[in-house]
């Protein structure tokens, strides 16, 4: 018999309705409007159909469904979800389409080759994935791993330092994954850190002058719970001015205070991300962001390379109205050299390549080339 469950890290599964042993309606948990992550067992050799109804028309974009305007040539293909037999290698379904007779409903079907499979709205990046990545880099001589705090739910909040020259007086700080449902950012960050660890040329010149402090996953609790954004805190990225604030944010604020006192802080940034891969232009923040006003931090010497412009966003006046990282930096330190970006790409390798590129751009920024 086929069974479906959500009893693992990052799972998100609501009520499952079994119509037959090969057709299931996947219910969404009430804390999400479109996201799901579940496990199927007993599925080897079976072609199983899943239907899922997202709660609003706006999530049509997130599911990548196409509403053809030409009835002669219907195109109701659907980009998501992804499936994996091992939790690491992800693939598309054989068949994923908009369901014709029920609004806001997608239908995905696959003949499974293994007896256990994971199905996720997108390619996930979990807290377990982060810890595996950290274990893989912790012995590198330039890397230091620290635990800054325990999250509200008691998980370790790690910080990764990249310091080739521990006497270096300049510093770049990055925070990543403030929103649980933006896993692309963590793949980009892996590429960035990997590029820094390789060294050579401009990267080593960068690291001679500048240390990195990176908080790779802010919304750990939400990632573990499989809840979008910040879990019980809704949009965690808006809680920087709370007093008292969440232990994760308080710990990062303490770090920032230390950096400001001990180093010349060149740039502070946050890596956000896309909700999924393979974004069509309509839901690609690279396009979306182009429509917004983009300002370069005041002491950036030159425009960055267009291959991957990380969308440096200077402090536009309205940022002051938001209770976000940038606002904290402005109000507490009158610090304006920050940026925010949504990383998007077609697959994890593409995101890692973007992260590597970003490291090169940061070298150019710091070295003033």
Query: What residue number has its CB nearest to Zn ion?
Result: 272
Instruction: Tell me whether residue 177 or residue 356 sits nearer to Zn ion (CB atom).
Output: 177
Instruction: Name the minimum Å distance from CB 179 to Zn ion.
Output: 4
Q: Rounded to an integer, what distance in angstroms lies between the CA atom of residue 350 and that of residue 337?
A: 27
Is residue 97 within 8 A of residue 67, CB to CB? The reply is no
Instruction: Name the minimum Å distance from CB 47 to Zn ion.
Output: 36
Does position 179 bind Zn ion by CB under 5 A? yes
The helix (run of H) or strand (run of E) holding residue 367 is: helix 348-367
Instruction: Name the minimum Å distance from CB 113 to Zn ion.
Output: 35
Instruction: Name the minimum Å distance from CB 185 to Zn ion.
Output: 8
Helix, strand or coil for residue 249?
helix
Spatial CA neighbour of 216 closest among 174, 254, 250, 258: 174
Instruction: Name the minimum Å distance from CB 270 to Zn ion.
Output: 8
Q: Name the DSSP letter for residue 27.
A: P
Instruction: Tell me whether residue 182 or residue 360 sits nearer to Zn ion (CB atom).
Output: 182
Q: Which one of the spans 176-184, 190-198, 293-301, 322-330 is the region binding Zn ion (CB under 5 A)?
A: 176-184
Is residue 27 within 8 A of residue 41, CB to CB? The reply is no
Instruction: Tell me whether residue 64 or residue 230 sits nearer to Zn ion (CB atom).
Output: 230
What are the C-alpha distances in Å from 369 to residues 193, 269, 303, 308? 21, 20, 11, 17
Instruction: Tell me whether residue 179 or residue 278 sits nearer to Zn ion (CB atom).
Output: 179
Does position 272 bind Zn ion by CB under 5 A? yes
Instruction: Name the minimum Å distance from CB 236 to Zn ion.
Output: 10
Residues present in the chain in total: 369
Is residue 24 within 8 A of residue 14, CB to CB? The reply is no
Instruction: Name the minimum Å distance from CB 182 to Zn ion.
Output: 5
Q: Rounded to an integer, what distance in angstroms lies between the CA atom of residue 273 and that of residue 180?
A: 10
DSSP 307-351: GG--------GGGGGS-SHHHHHHHHH----EEEEEE--SSHHHH
What is the side-by-side order of every strand in the sheet holding 95-98? Answer: 16-20, 23-26, 47-53, 105-111, 95-98
Does position 266 bind Zn ion by CB under 5 A? no
Q: Which one of the spans 84-92, 102-110, 239-247, 268-276 is the region binding Zn ion (CB under 5 A)?
A: 268-276
Q: Which one of the spans 39-47, 50-58, 173-181, 239-247 is the region binding Zn ion (CB under 5 A)?
A: 173-181
Q: Rounded to an integer, what distance in angstroms lies between the CA atom of residue 99 and that of residue 76?
A: 8
**The dihedral sign for the CA sequence 313, 148, 178, 216:** positive
Spatial CA neighbour of 80 closest among 23, 39, 34: 34
Q: Which one of the spans 57-65, 265-273, 311-319, 360-368 is the region binding Zn ion (CB under 5 A)?
A: 265-273
Q: Name the DSSP letter for residue 39.
A: E
Instruction: Tell me whether residue 213 or residue 272 sits nearer to Zn ion (CB atom).
Output: 272
Count of residues interacting with Zn ion (CB under 5 A): 3
What are the C-alpha distances in Å from 225 to residues 62, 180, 217? 21, 9, 14
Instruction: Tell me whether residue 179 or residue 190 sits nearer to Zn ion (CB atom).
Output: 179
Instruction: Name the minimum Å distance from CB 178 to Zn ion.
Output: 6
Q: Which one of the spans 29-37, 46-54, 171-179, 261-269 is the region binding Zn ion (CB under 5 A)?
A: 171-179
Instruction: Tell me whether residue 230 or residue 348 sits nearer to Zn ion (CB atom).
Output: 230
Q: Which one of the spans 26-34, 88-96, 180-188, 257-265 is the region binding Zn ion (CB under 5 A)?
A: 180-188
Instruction: Name the minimum Å distance from CB 272 to Zn ion.
Output: 3
294: how many CB neighbours lie within 10 A of its CB?
14
Does position 326 bind Zn ion by CB under 5 A? no
Is residue 50 within 8 A of residue 26, CB to CB? The reply is yes
Q: Which one of the spans 57-65, 182-190, 289-297, 356-364 is the region binding Zn ion (CB under 5 A)?
A: 182-190
Instruction: Tell me whether residue 272 or residue 357 sits nearer to Zn ion (CB atom).
Output: 272
Instruction: Name the minimum Å distance from CB 172 to Zn ion.
Output: 20
Residues in contact with Zn ion by the rule CB under 5 A: 179, 182, 272
């Amino acid at each position: 018999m086929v069974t479906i469950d959500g009893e693992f890290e990052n799972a998100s599964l609501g009520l499952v309705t079994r119509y037959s042993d090969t057709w299931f309606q996947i219910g969404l948990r009430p804390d999400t409007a479109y996201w799901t992550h579940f496990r199927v067992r007993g599925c080897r050799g079976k072609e199983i159909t899943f239907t899922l109804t997202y709660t609003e028309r706006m999530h049509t974009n997130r599911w990548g469904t196409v509403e053809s305007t030409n009835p002669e040539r219907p195109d109701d293909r659907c980009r998501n979800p992804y499936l994996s037999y091992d939790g690491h290698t992800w693939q598309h379904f054989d068949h994923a389409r908009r369901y014709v007779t029920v609004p806001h409903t997608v239908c995905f079907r696959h003949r499974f080759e293994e007896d256990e499979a994971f199905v996720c709205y997108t390619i996930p990046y979990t807290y377990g994935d982060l810890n595996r990545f950290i274990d893989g880099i912790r012995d590198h001589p330039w890397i230091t791993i620290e635990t800054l705090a325990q999250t509200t739910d008691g998980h370790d909040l790690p910080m990764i330092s990249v310091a080739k020259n521990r006497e270096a007086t300049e510093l770049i700080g990055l925070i990543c994954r403030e929103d649980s449902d933006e896993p692309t950012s963590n793949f980009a960050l892996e590429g960035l850190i990997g590029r820094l660890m390789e060294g050579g040329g401009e990267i080593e010149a960068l690291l001679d002058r500048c240390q990195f402090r990176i908080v790779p996953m802010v919304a750990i609790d939400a990632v573990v719970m499989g809840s979008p954004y910040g879990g019980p805190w809704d949009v965690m990225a808006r809680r920087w001015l709370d007093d008292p604030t969440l232990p994760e944010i308080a710990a990062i604020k303490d770090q920032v205070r230390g950096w400001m006192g001990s180093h010349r802080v060149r740039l502070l940034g946050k890596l956000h991300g896309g909700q999924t891969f393979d974004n069509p232009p309509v839901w690609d923040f690279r396009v979306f962001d182009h429509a917004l006003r983009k300002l370069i931090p005041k002491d950036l010497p030159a425009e960055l390379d267009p291959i991957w412009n990380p969308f440096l966003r200077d402090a536009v006046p309205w940022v002051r109205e938001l209770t976000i990282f940038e606002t904290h930096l402005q109000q507490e330190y009158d610090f304006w050299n920050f940026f925010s970006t949504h990383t998007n790409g077609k697959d994890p390798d593409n995101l890692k390549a973007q992260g590597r590129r970003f490291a090169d751009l940061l070298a150019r920024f710091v070295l003033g080339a």
